Amino acid sequence: MNVFAALFPHGISELFNWKGGPFNDTIFEINKTAVMAFVSTLVCVFIFVWGTRKKALVPTGVQNVAEMGYEFVEQQIAVPTIGDHHGAGKKWTPFLAVMFFYIFFVNIWSTFPGVQFPATSRIAIPMFLSLVVWLVYVGAGFKAQGPWYMIKTCAPSGVPKAILPVVFVIELFSKFIVRPFSLTVRLFANMVAGHVLLSVFAIMTAELVYKHRSGAYQIPLGILPFAGLVAFTGFELLVALLQAYIFAMLTGVFIGDSLSAEH
């Protein structure tokens, strides 16, 4: 029994398990996944520290990227989901922007030439991010609605008294257990599926072009899986962006739900 898909079955584990460098087989093990997570963090820090260094009136280069990205998160994710009541959407934009950019840069490795492995396809990273989101929206709920937040939010107003216990249990389960679980699984499974898909096309191409076990006539056939590989690499770029967008947007929805008492 392999809880939470931390390990992969034998055939697929070849694609996802990397040997650690220093501190192998301890919890401080540094392998490819960990290095990619650190590098993604550095890229995020670089964009926002370097981009906001000069604060030119007419932005150029990195400042342009930083400002456009932040504005995208604010206008497309934070304000529509959290709302602009007392500037709540703008107040929460930094957190959502961190989530969006970090997940985007970790995901985008799946199509980066030479690396081609999304670090989010090991469940530790999406699970940790979901735990952070869980703590933040529960904390925001306690801060906004007082110590009875968990009971208040699970007993919505306007529900008949007879079915209130059932609704309470369902709401408790869906708000505090299903939400972080589905956030984790959505990001993790999307990246795993994408990586497996690209690997399958790459292996097919290699088999047909380099091995061509049943004759040289197989070499021109390699163009078909290669075309699939190119097409799905483009598709993976879209998925990397879309998953970061969806993760940030769901985070915004959960926080907005915690902040408003009526729902």
Rounded CA-CA distance 58/5 in Å is 48
Of 52-111, which residues contact other proteins (CB under 8 A)?
76, 80-81
Q: What share of the chain is helix, strand, coil (3-state, %, to 5)?
A: 75, 0, 25
**Binding test (CB under 8 A) with other proteins, winner from 62, 65, 185, 204:** 185
| CA 189 to centroid of chain Cα atoms | 10
* Inter-residue contact 80 to 98 (CB < 8 Å): no
**Binding test (CB under 8 A) with other proteins, winner from 124, 167, 189, 202:** 189
* Mask for 243-262, x = binds other proteins (CB under 8 A): --xx--xx--x---------
- Give, rounded to a whole angstrom, the gap between the first and last alpha carbons of the chain: 39
Look up tokens 């940790």; give the residue. Answer: 128
**Would you say 8 or 100 has its CB closer to other proteins?**
8
Look up tokens 């007392």; give the residue. Answer: 86
Among the listed ranges 7-15, 18-26, 160-168, 229-237, the one in contact with other proteins (CB under 8 A) is: 7-15
Minimum separation from the CB atom of position 103 to other proteins (A)? 13
The site for other proteins (CB under 8 A) is made up of: 1-5, 7-9, 12, 76, 80-81, 182, 185-186, 188-190, 192-193, 242, 245-246, 249-250, 253
